[in-house]
């Protein structure tokens, strides 16, 4: 006998897949935090040094790299990226359909 494994194909947004409200915002914040964490790691910065660069205290850096993002807005995470020397571009495009728009982010490598 072979076992059948049940699974669902992801929408590409784990928060949407879990049925969480504000899934687009949560996904964007998570991706911004991942990028911040990668930059900190690539530069070999301690959390204390990263905090100095970002203009925050070390516990907030810890929260970001651990994905505890409730207290951070998308705007604030973008500001942190600019302090790390990144350009942040926001593009608004009107949809042709009358359906609700969506938020998404594309992070260059």
Q: For residues 82 and 88, is the Cβ–Cβ distance under 8 A?
A: yes
Residue with the two structure tokens 């593009």: 91
Confidence of residue 6 (pLDDT cuts 50, 70, 90): confident
Q: For residues 9 and 21, is the Cβ–Cβ distance under 8 A?
A: no
pTM of the model: 0.84
Q: Tell me the C-alpha distance between 60 and 81, whole Å.
A: 14
Compute CA distances 58 → 1, 104, 108, whole Å.
55, 28, 26
pLDDT score for 11: 85
How confident is the model over 10-61, as pLDDT tens digits? 888 899 999 999 999 999 999 999 999 999 999 999 999 999 999 999 999 9
Residue among 107, 69, 101 at smallest CA distance from 88: 107
pLDDT score for 36: 98
Q: For residues 98 and 66, is the Cβ–Cβ distance under 8 A?
A: no
How confident is the model over 63-102, as pLDDT tens digits? 999 999 999 999 999 999 999 999 999 888 887 777 777 7
pLDDT score for 1: 61
């Amino acid at each position: 006998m072979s076992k059948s494994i049940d699974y669902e194909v992801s929408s590409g947004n784990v928060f949407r897949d879990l049925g969480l409200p504000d899934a687009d915002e949560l996904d964007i914040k998570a991706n911004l935090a991942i990028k911040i964490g990668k930059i900190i790691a690539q530069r070999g910065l301690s959390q204390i040094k990263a905090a100095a660069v970002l203009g925050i205290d070390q516990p907030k850096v810890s929260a970001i790299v651990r994905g505890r993002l409730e207290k951070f807005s998308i705007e604030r995470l973008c500001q942190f990226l600019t302090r790390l020397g990144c350009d942040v571009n926001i593009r608004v495009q009107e949809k042709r359909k009358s359906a609700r728009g969506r938020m998404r982010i594309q992070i260059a490598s």
